Amino acid sequence: KKMKISENGINLIKKWEGLYLHAYYDCVGVITIGYGITNADKSITGTTIKKGMTISKATADKWLRESLDQKYAPKVMKYDSKYHWNQNQFDALVSFCFNIGNIDGLTANGTRSINTIAKKMLEYCKAGGKYVKGLYDRRKDEYNLFCRKPGSKPGSQSAEKKTEDYSMPTIKKGSTGKAVMIWQVII
């Protein structure tokens, strides 16, 4: 079987990556555009991302979908014969893989149980060795999707306490806008 990421998975990635139609340098200095697309994806985009480059939302959506289908979904499918992923697990892992680059460490190269994989997801919340709340929140979303029974609605498996959502898009070097202004006030 060959799985494809669902709209739930794509929407999760879009939520956490944010959409940038102008090329920018991320927090580690990598030129990026769209929903986190870099020159590591040149074989998919056929384009070299350069400073000053602008793309359309349609192009960003196309590049994301192609990158997920051609590059990240296969990295998750590599372990399907052992784990037999359901759609929610697959979607959560493709999101994780898109953000981290692979799931080899998370699965310990296919030696961990599904329950251990779920628990370990929440540990991948550091950037440059420092805890990042935004990464923890992303991992929590991925964990919740991974653990959700296929066909059930978000939050339907527990009586979740409803709280106000203060999450903001991830900001990166070169980001502008409201989220940057808020962080400037906080810091």
Catalytic residues: 17
Q: Are 56 and 21 in contact (CB under 8 A)?
A: yes
Contacts of 85 (CB under 8 A, 6+ apart): 3, 76, 79, 93
Q: What is the spatial distance between Cα 88 and Cα 90, in angstroms, rounded to a whole number?
A: 5
Helix (H, G, I), strand (E, B) or coil at 135: helix
Taking the C-alpha atoms of residue 90 and residue 6, their distance in angstroms, rounded to an integer, is: 9
Of the candidates 46, 135, 150, the one whose C-alpha atom is nearest the C-alpha of residue 96 is 135
